Amino acid sequence: MSFHEDYKRLEEKLMSSGIDVSRVKAQLKAQHIETPSWGYGNSGTRFKVFPWAGAARNIHEKLADAGYIHKLTGIAPSVAIHIPWDKTDDWTGLAQYAAEQGVKIGAVNPNVFQDEQYKLGSMCHPSAAVREEAIAHMIECCEIMGKTGSSLLSLWFADGTNYAGQDSIRRRKQAMEHALKTVYGHLPANGRMLIEYKFFEPAFYHTDLADWGMAYAMALKCGERAEVLVDTGHHAQGTNIAHIVAFLLDEGRLGGFHFNARRYADDDLIVGTNNPFELFEIYTELVGAGELAQNVAYMIDQSHNIEPKLEAMLLSVLNCQTAYARALIVNYAKLHALQAAGDVLGAHAVLVDAFDTDVRPLLMQVRDEMGVPVDPIAAYRADNYAAHVAAERGTVAAGGGYPGQQK
């Protein structure tokens, strides 16, 4: 039995419940998931990085791999870059090369957590000279945005302290505010600043931007084009991320996501593998918010360590696509009516029904109409791209931590 027959049955079921299937397919075709350059190279956890044969060795190979993932999915048309890991002397040429691979440069991510001078922080460091160096790097990244056509500056800081009394928390807060305001003033005309947060690690006494409220407060102080970036792995166990998403959406300050998953306290697992219902909950808030979510940026932030780089990235994109499809087929009219009537379990059942629906025939139909493989994983495994790059690039030895820390 072909997927077309399964799709027809699903289409009839959805239409009978009032779902506009044509609209759902159009939204799926317009989905945009940005992949990260660092996910294609030998990057990984803060412990051991296990090298993968064929891992990208430079930004050009990363863009080529990203182009391949986009060809398989049709919904990954941009690539986030990390500076200085992906630095080049010819940004115009790099943007042109990206276009030749079928993608474009997405968010620019500064790095102020790796170099020796940032041992005690970057934007919040006790030394004014170090703080100025960090700000200068951020401004450089704003200039790179202008040269590459990027509209997003994605910020994460390892700043914090490990011991009570190590530094003045209030002084550090004031330094962070000053630095962000300064950088904000250098954004390109169409640029947005996305401020990420993390409740602990690598700082264990306090982190300067420890939660969404702190990031939100800083965004308000900077201006309308400063927004909060929600990393799905940067929360304490049991945190209701969908609640945070709903609040920020309603405030008009949800800038984007870094999608990943975590079993305990940190990230880097493939999004949707640990708690797919949580990812679905997040997408229902986004779909339900309508136009409030139209400018939200969706980005993968994963460093695949024991997984094959390309297949892991492919699965990450597809898991986001599946969660979005499930959220799109929720019967929101019925849901709202049951909510208004106070039918607690009836309303909950509407979400569960959509989550339990097998959306694979719908996704296959959409991919078929888009002209991409109906089963991207099978297409990848049947292809020789991974074998080709492994033979061409070989295996580059890697140490621990992020790309710049590799030996």
Q: What is the pLDDT of residues 122-150, one digit of tens each?
A: 999 999 999 999 999 999 999 999 999 99
Residue type, 233: G
For residues 11-35, average pLDDT:
97
Distance CA 183, CA 141 (A): 10
Burial of 215 (0-12, 13-18, 19+ CB in 10 A): buried
Distance CA 216, CA 231 (A): 14
Range of the structural domain that residue 184 is part of? 3-328+359-405
**Structural domain includes residue 349:** no
Rg for the chain, CA atoms, rounded: 22
Hunting for tokens 């799109």 — which residue is that?
Answer: 328
Q: Quote the pLDDT of residue 132.
A: 98
Positive or negative, the CA dihedral 358, 361, 366, 370 is positive
Q: Quote the pLDDT of residue 403.
A: 55
Size (the chain), residues: 407
Residue type, 47: F
CATH code at position 23: 3.20.20.150
Q: How confident is the model at residue 397 (pLDDT cuts 50, 70, 90)?
A: low
Q: With beta carbons less than 8 A apart as the criterion, state whether 262 and 233 touch.
A: yes
Q: Quote the pLDDT of residue 199.
A: 92
Positive or negative, the CA dihedral 212, 259, 271, 84 is negative
Overall domain count for the chain? 1
**Structural domain includes residue 18:** yes
Q: With beta carbons less than 8 A apart as the criterion, state whether 167 and 205 touch.
A: no
Q: Is the pTM of this model over 0.85?
A: yes
**Which residues contact residue 119 at a Cβ distance below 8 angstroms, ignoring those fewer than 6 apart?**
none
For residues 70-98, average pLDDT:
97
Whole-number average pLDDT of the chain: 95
**Structural domain includes residue 26:** yes
Q: Quote the pLDDT of residue 405.
A: 43
CA angle 262-268-270, nearest 5°?
80
Residue 404 has pLDDT above 60, yes or no: no
Hunting for tokens 């200068």 — which residue is that?
Answer: 136
**Which residues contact residue 57 at a Cβ distance below 8 angstroms, ignoring those fewer than 6 apart?**
41, 393, 396
Closest residue by Cα to residue 56 from 361, 307, 390, 338:
390
Hunting for tokens 């799926």 — which residue is that?
Answer: 28
CA angle 152-157-162, nearest 5°?
170
**Structural domain includes residue 161:** yes
Residue 49 has pLDDT above 90, yes or no: no
**Structural domain includes residue 307:** yes
Pick 42 or 141 by higher pLDDT.
141
Q: Quote the pLDDT of residue 399.
A: 47
Return the minimum-mean-pLDDT range out of 16-20, 139-143, 302-306, 323-327. 302-306
Residue 94 has pLDDT above 90, yes or no: yes
Q: With beta carbons less than 8 A apart as the criterion, state whether 35 and 76 touch.
A: yes
Residue 395 has pLDDT above 90, yes or no: no
Return the minimum-mean-pLDDT range out of 20-24, 48-52, 74-78, 382-386. 48-52
For the chain, percent of residues with pLDDT exceeding 90? 90
| Full DSSP string of 201-270 | SS-SSEETT-SHHHHHHHHHHH-TTEEEEEETTSS-TT--HHHHHHHHHHHT-EEEEEE-B-SSS---BP
Distances (CA, A) of 173 to 24, 121, 159, 224, 264: 44, 12, 10, 20, 28
**Structural domain includes residue 334:** no
Describe the chain by its helix, strand, coil percentages, rounded to 5: 50, 10, 40
Task: Tell how far CA 171 is from the center of its chain.
Answer: 31
**Structural domain includes residue 309:** yes
Q: How confident is the model at residue 406 (pLDDT cuts 50, 70, 90)?
A: very low
Q: With beta carbons less than 8 A apart as the criterion, state whether 199 and 207 touch.
A: yes
Residue 255 has pLDDT above 60, yes or no: yes
Distances (CA, A) of 368 to 19, 25, 73, 175: 21, 11, 11, 52
Q: With beta carbons less than 8 A apart as the criterion, state whether 313 and 319 touch.
A: no
**Structural domain includes residue 350:** no
Distances (CA, A) of 30 to 24, 71, 121, 364: 10, 15, 40, 15
β partners of residue 104: 78
Q: How confident is the model at residue 206 (pLDDT cuts 50, 70, 90)?
A: very high
